[in-house]
């Protein structure tokens, strides 16, 4: 007899007859019910084996998906880190460019301020020079006016004083 019993093995099993043995009809009925139960158990076992195989396949698929998800997660994390680093790098570059531009603008503003201050100084010098010339001119005119007034006074005295001109007033 094989190690695994089938329903057919049980049904075809024969026994030798001895006196005062069991009722052959009862034995056959019992063996038929045992064979039926073994058949049911064999079918259930086959179904369970099939289910185990399907579950193993599903488990393998799930493990494969899990590994894919893990790899995707690692890849996404790596990409996120790279994007952050790239963003930091670009931000640093923008800041450096902005600083350079600010320094350039500041330099230009300082240069323009120096030119404006130089222009203001030049204008002050020109104003001071103009004021000196104007004062000198005013002083000269005042001096001329003073000398004209002095001449007129001398003339008036001379016209009224006949001894000075030799001409009589008249």
- What string of pLDDT tens digits covers the 170 residues of the chain? 446 777 788 877 777 777 777 878 888 888 888 888 888 998 999 999 999 999 999 999 999 999 999 999 999 999 999 999 999 999 999 999 999 999 999 999 999 999 999 999 999 999 999 999 999 999 999 998 888 888 888 777 776 655 655 555 44
Choose among 38, 34, 35, 58: nearest CA to 46. Answer: 38
The pLDDT score that the predictor gives to residue 149 is: 82
Q: How far is CA 163 from CA 78, 116, 151, 159, 166, in A?
A: 124, 68, 18, 9, 6
Q: How far is CA 13 from CA 27, 36, 108, in A?
A: 11, 14, 114
The pLDDT score that the predictor gives to residue 161 is: 59
Residue 70 token pair? 């893990």
pTM, full prediction:
0.42
The pLDDT score that the predictor gives to residue 122 is: 95
Cβ 27 vs Cβ 15: under 8 Å: yes
Residue 155 token pair? 């003339």
The pLDDT score that the predictor gives to residue 5 is: 73
Choose among 43, 38, 32, 44: nearest CA to 2. Answer: 38
* Other CB atoms within 10 A of residue 10 CB: 18
Q: Which residues contact 133 (CB under 8 A, 6 or more apart)?
A: none
Q: At 149, which helix (H) or strand (E)?
A: helix 24-160
């Amino acid at each position: 007899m094989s190690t695994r019993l089938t329903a057919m093995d049980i049904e075809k099993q024969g026994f030798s007859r001895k006196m005062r043995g069991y009722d052959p009809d009862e034995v056959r009925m019992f063996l038929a019910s045992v064979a039926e139960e073994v058949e049911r158990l064999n079918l259930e076992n086959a179904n369970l084996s099939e289910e185990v195989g399907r579950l193993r396949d599903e488990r393998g698929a799930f493990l494969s998906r899990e590994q894919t998800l893990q790899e995707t997660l690692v890849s996404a994390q790596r990409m996120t880190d790279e994007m952050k680093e790239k963003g930091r790098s670009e931000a640093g570059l923008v800041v450096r460019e902005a600083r350079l531009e600010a320094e350039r603008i500041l330099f230009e503003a300082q240069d323009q301020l120096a030119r404006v201050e130089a222009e203001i100084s030049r204008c002050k010098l020109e104003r001071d020079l103009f004021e000196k010339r104007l004062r000198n001119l005013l002083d000269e005119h005042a001096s001329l006016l003073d000398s004209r007034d002095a001449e007129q006074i001398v003339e008036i005295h001379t016209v009224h004083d006949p001894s000075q001109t030799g001409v009589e007033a008249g």
